[in-house]
Amino acid sequence: MSSTLERPAVHPKARLSTEHYQLLIGGRWRDASDGATITVTSPSAGETLATIPEATKDDVDAAVAAARTAFATWSRTSVTERSQVLLRIADLIEEHADFLATVESMDNGKPIRETTGADIPLGVDHFRYFAGVIRGEEGSATMVDENMLNLILTEPLGVVAQIVPWNFPFLMACWKLAPALAAGDTVVFKPSSSTSLSVLELARLITENHVLPDGVLNVVTGSGTKSGEYLQHADIDKIAFTGSTEVGRGIGIAAAEKIIPSTLELGGKSANIFFDDCDLDLAMEGIGLGILFNQGQVCSAGSRIFVQCSFLDTFMQRATEEFRNVRVGDPLDPSTQMGAQVNETQLAKILSYVDIGRSEGATVAVGGRRLTHGDLGRGVFMEPTLLTDVDNSMRVAREEIFGPVGVVIPFDDEDEVIALANDSTYGLGGGVFTSDLGRAIRVARGVRTGRVWVNTYNQFPAGAPFGGYKESGIGRETHKMILHSYTQTKNVLINLARKPGGMYVPPEH
């Protein structure tokens, strides 16, 4: 991930547009119908940042109704018009990139070098990618036989519910909004209650600049067990979800009962595989991108680190040194490499897994503790951590920790490591580090996951499909193929014959 190193000029809190956010329903900003709010705190400094509404069932239903009304006209806009809207949104994000990056770092705890270098520009690129892709989409028309014209048309699907988690709030919004709007759908969007601010600020920019007609984009904030539950059971035509496998399973069942499509981007326990012929510098960058990027809170994190036995000692010596030197600190300091975990609950979960690992016989090779010295004591900070003496059957190798904790598992050869990598209920990401291209491709093809990086990790360019095998989900995002899941196919068969076919009326009649 590239990064810029400019510090935001103004204190971040002074740059939030408000300290009391509202719901966006039908183009109007309003409080929750019962006035309930949730307080948002900074994971790095512990201070209150703002309040967001806790949407009620009435609010969610009102948002869905507004989206339904807006669909009647938005679904009939031309591809050119929608493409221009997406380009305008991309421009707006770019114009306000520093602001949005600051809000995201403040709200989520991720380092500003990541938000300015990855989350925000990748979001911009995503809107531009789909603005271009829809211009190139073509329907088809064929002659079935001499008399029958077969028209295949693509039509917008309807009102789409979108629910995203807290680890990439802004980027996940771009991944989901761009294809849905491009397809001609209207949206009710629910961010995580832990990290709603960047999406609310994006929605504010869109409404203030009159980029979308009222009701095309609606944002309902609130907890998953309230607004999320209401939304998944509302009068919607599709649900797109990113989050845990546990919640995703319930959403898939709810969608099946309504007979509507769902796309699910879920968890992972991905294998990052290092062969002894790899470039050690690339490997060290790859282990960091795999398990430290975004504080390890990445669905595709390279959390199972498989290292060939023949160079395990060399690898571990260098990796422990690199992990000790990672700069953990204030997310808004451009030199910070790892920021704060998202909240106390998440940190407690991560630390409990370190204890579980110890009780299973693992050794903490580096890290393993909360960081509390100086200003870090005000926030939720964790040491970059590697556990050794781990085998693939332990809980720390099977369950998603979702923090900067990698487990190191030795292996001897290609066949063994492919079998170990595949011994998981998940199948989202994976990495192979080697100088042997043939081996890289053999391993990439042997591993049953939706994405494999070779000699790098956790890169997410638009145009490269991302999604999971097995319990990691259904569907692929960040590629034009997702448009199919936001559209319906309409087939029109046209008889061109001058006379009846003869089934009921003779042709000579």
Q: Which residues are catalytic?
A: 265, 299
* Closest CB to ligand NDP among residues 162, 434: 162
Binding mask 356-395 for ligand NDP (x = CB under 6 A): ----------------------------------------
Q: How far apart are CB 400 and ligand NDP at their closest, in Å?
A: 5
Within positions 175 to 194, which residues make up the interface with ligand NDP, using CB under 6 A?
A: 190, 192-194
Work out which of 44, 154, 218, 232 binds ligand NDP, going by CB under 6 A: 232
Residue nearest to ligand NDP (CB): 224
Total chain residues near ligand NDP (CB under 6 A): 31
Residue located via tokens 């960047």: 198
Residues 99, 102, 104, 110: is their CA dihedral positive or negative? positive
| 3-state secondary structure (DSSP) of residue 322 | helix
Q: How far apart are CB 408 and ligand NDP at their closest, in Å?
A: 21
Residue located via tokens 């070098």: 113
Within positions 454 to 483, which residues make up the interface with ligand NDP, using CB under 6 A?
A: 468, 473
Angle of the 120-136 helix axis to the 169-183 helix axis, nearest 10: 10
Q: How far apart are CB 57 and ligand NDP at their closest, in Å?
A: 13
- Per-residue exposure over 196-221, b if at least 16 CB sit within 10 Å of its own CB, e if not: bbbbbbbbbbbbeeebbebbbbbbbb
Work out which of 247, 283, 382, 417 binds ligand NDP, going by CB under 6 A: 247
| DSSP for residue 350 | H
Taking the C-alpha atoms of residue 172 and residue 161, their distance in angstroms, rounded to an integer, is 14
Binding mask 274-313 for ligand NDP (x = CB under 6 A): -------------------------x--------------
Q: How far apart are CB 203 and ligand NDP at their closest, in Å?
A: 16
Q: How far apart are CB 267 and ligand NDP at their closest, in Å?
A: 3
Contact between 396 and 356 under an 8 Å Cβ cutoff? The reply is yes
Residue 51, interface with ligand NDP (CB under 6 A)? no
Residue 339, interface with ligand NDP (CB under 6 A)? no
Contact between 181 and 189 under an 8 Å Cβ cutoff? The reply is no
Residue 172, burial from CB neighbour count under 10 angstroms (0-12, 13-18, 19+): buried
Residue 1, burial from CB neighbour count under 10 angstroms (0-12, 13-18, 19+): middle
Contact between 286 and 433 under an 8 Å Cβ cutoff? The reply is yes
Going by C-alpha positions, the residue among 394, 297, 406 that lies closest to residue 345 is 297
* Closest CB to ligand NDP among residues 291, 366: 291
Compute CA distances 112 → 5, 115, 274, 332, 337, whole Å: 8, 5, 29, 5, 9
**How many C-beta atoms surround the C-beta of residue 81 within 10 A?**
11
Residue 267, interface with ligand NDP (CB under 6 A)? yes
Contact between 68 and 156 under an 8 Å Cβ cutoff? The reply is no
Work out which of 12, 224, 357, 404 binds ligand NDP, going by CB under 6 A: 224
The length of the chain in residues reads 509
Residue 107, interface with ligand NDP (CB under 6 A)? no
Binding mask 391-430 for ligand NDP (x = CB under 6 A): ---------x-x-------------------------x--
Contact region for ligand NDP (CB under 6 A) — 64-72, 107-115, 142-150, 219-227? 219-227
Binding mask 142-171 for ligand NDP (x = CB under 6 A): ---------------------xxxxxx---
* Closest CB to ligand NDP among residues 69, 223: 223
* Interface ranges with ligand NDP (CB under 6 A): 163-168, 190, 192-194, 223-225, 228-229, 232, 242-244, 247, 250, 265-268, 299, 400, 402, 428, 468, 473
